[in-house]
Amino acid sequence: MTAGLLFRSGKILISRRRKGSHLGGMWEFPGGKRETGESLEQCLERELIEELGIKIRVQDHCLTVDHTYDDRSITLHVFQCVLLGGDPKPLQSDAIQWIAPGALERFPFPPPDRKIIEYLRGRDIDKKEDQMFYNKKNNGYRTLAEGIMMKPLVHGEKTLLCEFRIAKGASLPPHAHPHEQTGYLVSGKMRFVIEEQEFQAEAGDSWCVKGDVVHSAEVLEDAVVVEVFSPVRTEYLE
């Protein structure tokens, strides 16, 4: 069994099971049963298409919950997810709601989902929620690799803005990720290779790298870069 945690504007999505079904009338975090041959991630992506009509990307594994009912035992695998497309609709449930995490206690949930609520209560989940404004300050940088410092700035449901400070001589080896990224060079000089095309950037230049495209970079002079990632790179918010 799988369940997904979807956040929007500081709220989390829950759905109410149909009356007449197992645990009918209770609320739950959306998900479902894995079919033969599916990975857990494939299961959750399929279930949310079928249940809610939305496309998601499964990201962090949050916790695993084991529970025994009178007539069955289950293992529930819970993942953080990002909404990629669609507006959630209750296609296979009585209702859905976006709820502030602090209000989840007001709703009837089955025991496994109660464990998820306990998990959320003990976590700093604000870092996963939208951040609309950012005041300039010098702290908040962390080292991604030798000579490369990064600070997340603002983010919403689908985009994340980051600042990078990169020392001369630092380099990013060829790599790819599913996120589209657009960048602007505030200061310094860099050389990029994107899909085997070379681009030398100076202050004021910009670029775009589509998702899953191999790219690399070399820093020719100390550089400050701002980049937007879509969907949100949640690992940068940790």
Cβ distance 154 to 162 under 8 Å? no
Q: Which two tokens stand for residue 125?
A: 């989940």
CA–CA distances in Å: residue 35 to residues 46, 134, 181, 228, 237? 10, 44, 34, 36, 32
CATH superfamily of 142-237: Jelly Rolls (2.60.120.10)
Q: Where are the alpha helices (DSSP H) in the chain?
A: 40-52, 111-121
CATH 3.90.79.10 residue ranges of the chain are 2-128
Decide: residue 160, CB within 10 A, 0-12 exposed, 13-18 middle, 19+ buried: buried
- Cβ(201)–Cβ(207) below 8 Å: yes
pLDDT tens-place values along the chain, 238 residues long:
999 999 887 789 999 999 878 788 999 999 999 999 999 999 999 999 999 999 988 888 889 999 998 888 989 999 988 888 889 999 999 999 999 888 999 999 999 999 999 988 866 554 445 555 555 655 678 888 889 999 888 888 789 999 999 999 999 999 998 899 999 999 999 999 998 899 999 999 999 999 989 999 999 999 999 999 999 888 887 6
Q: What is the DSSP letter of 128?
A: G
Q: Does domain 2-128 have CATH number 1.10.3720.10?
A: no
What predicted TM-score, i.e. pTM, was given to this entire model? 0.56
* CATH 2.60.120.10 residue window(s) in the chain: 142-237
Place of tokens 């279930």: 47
Residues in the chain: 238
